Amino acid sequence: MNCSLDALLGGRLTSLPMSRWLSLIALVAVTGAHAGPPVSAEEDAGRYMAEKRLVDRIEQVRVQMGVGATRVANKASELVMTAMGSLGVPYRRGGSSADTGFDCSGFVKAMYEQTVGFILPRRANEQAAATQKIDKQDLQPGDLVFFNTLRRTFSHVGIYVGDNKFIHSPKPGAQVRVEDMAVPYWAARFDGARRVPMPAAQATAAAD
């Protein structure tokens, strides 16, 4: 299977109005983590202002892409933007919808079903087993990143959005937010990266 959500981001990402982008950032909670270290309000604000600049960097990647990858790129863009649109949705154990809240694996499963049409298993460790292992240096937006946050492998999962950042639903009392994988808490708990294969019908269309 050669087609996947590689480092491909389409133009849809940059079509999001800046006012909406800023409003999404404003929804992010300033909380500690179960999946995540505590941060100050000042640190949190600086982190999310940096996230705003991801738009420009992602657009640079898109411009460098070949024409043949456009359809796959648009799907990757849609996935990332749909995930970003869930910033601020509260954590709920066993949750899998924006209306009621997400847990980490429910968030990932919902994003892929809504935008890619790929049905992932429900639990984080099952999602790791059902997807393609990749090296950390090969991570591209739309890939999955896994962490050991409960003293067991693949106990937490998020979606990589680029620039060493990922989006996830962290813990009870917290909300969907973006994190930096370089933060010591996450770096020490990183468990591996996975790539979700694109459904066959979309792979065929992308190759046309």
Cα separation values, 184 from 10, 50, 181, 189, Å:
31, 18, 8, 8
**Active-site annotation holds for 156:** yes
Query: Angle at which helices 18-26 and 41-52 pack, to 10 degrees?
Result: 160
**Catalytic, out of 62, 156, 171, 177:** 156
Q: Strand 132-134 and strand 190-195: pairing?
A: antiparallel
In the residue annotation, 168 being an active-site residue is answered as yes
Catalytic site residue from 28, 79, 104, 111? 104
- Could you give the dihedral angle defined by the CA atoms of residues 53, 141, 7 and 138, in that order, rounded to the nearest 10 degrees? 110
Given 62, 75, 109, 168, the catalytic residue:
168
One-character DSSP codes across 18-37: HHHHHHHHHT-----BTTB-
- Active site (annotated) includes residue 34: no
Closest CA to 109 of 134, 90, 126: 126
Point out which residues pair with 157 in neighbouring strands. Answer: 146
Phi, psi of 90 (to 5 degrees): -70, 155
Here the tokens at position 153 are 């492998």
Instruction: Just list the catalytic residues.
Output: 104, 156, 168
